Structure 1
Amino acid sequence: MEDATKPNNPRVSFTRMADGTREDYELLDRLEEEFAAGTADRVLTHLRELSGSLSGYQVDRLEHSLQSATRAYRDGADEEMVVAALLHDIDDLLAPHSHGKLAALLLRPYVTERTCWIVRHHGLFQYYYYAHHGGGDRNARDKYRNHPWYQDAVDFCHRWDQCAFDPDYDSLPLESFEPMVRRIFAREPFSLASREQA
């Protein structure tokens, strides 16, 4: 067991948050800031875990992610949107039925509300391509038809997501996107208190 008194393993004095001191919370703020600095590394590690996931498609989720990001990059999308295309399905392993919402929450502190909204809703917008085959409403996205980012979500899905299952596509390797991911997650987080929910 680690020694809590060692300088490299500082701990707070409390066992109930109500008993914490100013020094305790200053320590936690510093440790959280240090931990947050490693977010890009953890995101990239989790993205690599998509390799071999979700069988049935002609490519795995990692290749789909790389293909989506490569298409966005080659289409001239800005770096934030390229990273969004790379990470839009990152939470398939943990939340297969709500992965867009979870991916949007991951990105939310570091990207614009527009990008966050597109990632959050991309699953619904993807219904257009397949829902009717199972008796679903392929036009479910139309409930957002008057939303200012409706067409952006349509374009995201049409140009970079629904077409990114091609085993013969020459996707860029993950290493090509790592600097972009690191730059996005190195941004000063937007104030969450002043933003709408993702």
Structure 2
Amino acid sequence: MALELEDIRALFDAYGSRAYGKEAVTQLEHALQTAHLGEAEGAEQELIVAAFLHDLGHLIGLSKQHEEGAPSSDDGSPFGTGDDLHQYVALPFLRPVLPSAVVDPIGLHVEAKRCLCAIDPTYRAKLSPLSIHTLKLQGGIYTKEEADSFQHRPFALDAMRLRRWDDAAKVPGVKTPPFEHYFSMLSKIYAQHRETRAAH
């Protein structure tokens, strides 16, 4: 079970123009802004690609609803009005074709919000109303012990960087590189990972 490159392109083609919940940007605009913030910060390409794909689970959810003929919500939760666990939805599709440096920060980016709220007093104040709402659905703010434990997990610090870009990537009208810029970056990492797996 894996998503190939053209499957990922097809998901963005089909659902990238959909609203990103109740935010004033589309799913594609949010993905491009998040990746652009990572690139502007000088992040490694793997983390930039993780930023580009971090909400792919939402698009997979919208695709699943379309196949089933079910209505989709507009609150950033394609499976309904509760927490859709979108950070996990894409993982089994991406793990066979991309390295952990891409996949793991995606899987951790929701927990990263819970951690950042616990360790940075200014962080929560910057969250959008929708993000505050989903924080509650996702388990709320970590305790100090939970935050300490999270920060020692592999790729947790990358996930926290991604999370800050995620939260800032909801501004209408921001100019970013086009889809193909980040898709080509994804394609390069995809090919490198396939070569690495074939060599072993």
Do Structure 1 and Structure 2 share a fold, with TM-score over 0.5?
yes
Structure 2: gaps of 5 or more residues:
62-76, 78-83, 118-123, 125-131
Matched, 1:137 2:143: no
Aligned counterpart, 2:186: 181
Matched, 1:42 2:47: no
Residues 108 and 156 of structure 2 are in contact (CA less than 8 Å); yes or no, is this contact kept in structure 1?
no
Task: Tell me the percent identity.
Answer: 24
For these two proteins, the number of residue pairs brought into alignment is: 156
**Shift in Å, 1:103:** 2.4
Q: For residues 178 and 114 of structure 1, do their structure 2 counterparts lie closer, same or farther at Cα, with a shift above 3 Å needed? A: closer
Matched, 1:89 2:92: no
Residues 89 and 99 of structure 1 are in contact (CA less than 8 Å); yes or no, is this contact kept in structure 2?
yes
Which protein has the bigger helix share?
2
Rg larger in structure: 1
Counterpart of 2:44 in structure 1: which amino acid? Answer: D
Residues 47 and 87 of structure 1 are in contact (CA less than 8 Å); yes or no, is this contact kept in structure 2?
no
Residues 49 and 102 of structure 2 are in contact (CA less than 8 Å); yes or no, is this contact kept in structure 1?
no
TM-score normalised according to structure 1 size:
0.66
Q: Extract structure 1 runs of 4+ deviating beyond 4 A.
A: 131-136
Counterpart of 1:147 in structure 2: which amino acid? Answer: R
Q: How does 1:63-78 map to 2 (within 5 A)?
A: 63-78=29-44
TM-score normalised according to structure 2 size:
0.65
Counterpart of 2:105 in structure 1: which amino acid? Answer: I
Q: For residues 132 and 39 of structure 1, do their structure 2 counterparts lie closer, same or farther at Cα, with a shift above 3 Å needed? A: closer
Counterpart of 2:91 in structure 1: which amino acid? Answer: A
What is the alpha-carbon distance in structure 2 between the residues aligned to residue 163 and residue 75 of structure 1? 13
What is the alpha-carbon distance in structure 1 between the residues aligned to residue 181 and residue 134 of structure 2? 37
Matched, 1:167 2:172: yes
**Shift in Å, 1:81:** 1.6
Aligned counterpart, 2:121: none
Aligned counterpart, 2:108: 121
Residues 112 and 156 of structure 2 are in contact (CA less than 8 Å); yes or no, is this contact kept in structure 1?
no
Residues 110 and 190 of structure 1 are in contact (CA less than 8 Å); yes or no, is this contact kept in structure 2?
no
What is the alpha-carbon distance in structure 2 between the residues aligned to residue 190 and residue 131 of structure 1? 41
Structure 1: gaps of 5 or more residues:
1-31
